[in-house]
Chain A
Amino acid sequence: MNSKNLLVTKGLKAFVADFEILHGIDLAVGEREVVALIGPSGCGKSTFLRCLNRLHEETEGAHVEGSVVLEGIELYDRKSDPVALRRRIGMVFQKPNPFPSMSVFDNVAAGIVLQGVKNKSVLQEAVERSLRQAALWDEVKDYLDRPGTSLSGGQQQRLCIARALTVKPPVLLMDEPTSALDPISTAKIEELVAHLKEQMTIVVVTHNMQQASRISDRTAFFLYGNVVEYGATREVFTTPKNRKTEEYITGRFG
Chain B
Amino acid sequence: MISRDLKSRLMVALCYALLALALVPLLSILYTVISKGLPALSLDFFLKTPVPVGEAGGGIGHAILGTLLLILMASAIGVPLGLAMGILLSEYPKRKTARALRTVVEVLSSVPSIVVGLFAYAVIVKPMKGFSAHAGAVALAIVMVPMIARSSEEMLKLVPTSVREAGLALGLPRWKVILKIVVGGSIGSLIVSVLLAVARIAGETAPLLFTAFGSQRWFQGLNQPIASLPVTIYNYAISPYEDWHEKAWGGALVLIVLVVGLNLFVRMMWTKRRSTRS
Residues in chain A within 8 A of chain B (CB atoms): 53, 55, 58, 60, 83-91, 93, 95, 97, 99-102, 110-111, 114-115, 147, 149, 160, 163-164, 167
Contacts and interface: CB of A to CB of B under 8 A. Distances in A.
Given A100-B159, A100-B163, A110 B181 contact: yes
B277 A149 contact: yes
Interface string B146-180: 00000000000001101101111111110010001
A84 B170 CA distance: 9
13 contacts: A55-B169, A58-B168, A83-B171, A87-B171, A90-B169, A90-B170, A91-B169, A99-B163, A100-B185, A101-B184, A115-B171, A147-B277, A149-B277
Nearest to A86: B171
Interface-central residue, B94, B160, B171, B186, by most chain A CB under 10 Å:
B171
B162 A95 contact: yes
Contacts of B188: 101
Interface string B178-217: 0011001111100000000000000000000000000000
A235 B276 CA distance: 50
B171 A100 contact: no
B170 A111 contact: yes
Contacts of B185: 99-102
B165 A86 contact: no
Contacts of B163: 97, 99-100
A89 B163 CA distance: 17
Contact of B94 (A58, A60, A95): A60
A115 B173 CA distance: 9
Contacts of B159: 100
Contacts of A89: 169
Give the 3 A-B CB pairs with smallest separation, nearest first: A87-B171, A100-B185, A91-B169
Contacts of B170: 86-87, 90, 110-111, 114, 163-164, 167
B174 to A, nearest CB: 8
B165 A111 contact: no
A101 B187 contact: yes
B168 A55 contact: yes
B250 to A, nearest CB: 41
A99 B172 CA distance: 13
Nearest to B179: A114
Given A55-B168, A83-B172, A167-B171, 14 more contacts: A53-B169, A60-B94, A87-B171, A97-B163, A100-B163, A100-B186, A101-B186, A101-B188, A110-B170, A111-B170, A114-B172, A115-B171, A115-B172, A160-B166
Contacts of A102: 181, 184-185
A187 B6 CA distance: 51
Nearest to A101: B185
Nearest to A61: B94
Contacts of A91: 165-166, 169
Contact of B173 (A83, A88, A93, A100): A83
A115 B177 CA distance: 11
Given A97-B162, A99-B163, A100-B185, A111 B172 contact: yes
Nearest to B181: A99
Given A83-B172, A149-B277, A93 B165 contact: yes
B35 to A, nearest CB: 43
Interface in B237-258: none
Interface-central residue, B168, B180, B277, by most chain A CB under 10 Å:
B168
A163 B165 CA distance: 13
Nearest to B184: A101
A167 B160 CA distance: 23
Interface string B16-52: 0000000000000000000000000000000000000
Interface-central residue, A85, A114, A167, by most chain B CB under 10 Å:
A114
Contacts of A58: 165, 168
B180 A114 contact: yes
Contact of B169 (A86, A101, A115): A86
A90 B172 CA distance: 12
Given A97-B160, A147-B276, A86 B166 contact: no
Interface string B262-278: 00000000000000110
Contacts of A100: 159, 163, 181, 185-186
A147 B185 CA distance: 11
A99 B171 contact: no
Nearest to B185: A100
A176 to B, nearest CB: 12
Contacts of B169: 53, 55, 86, 89-91, 164
A136 to B, nearest CB: 17
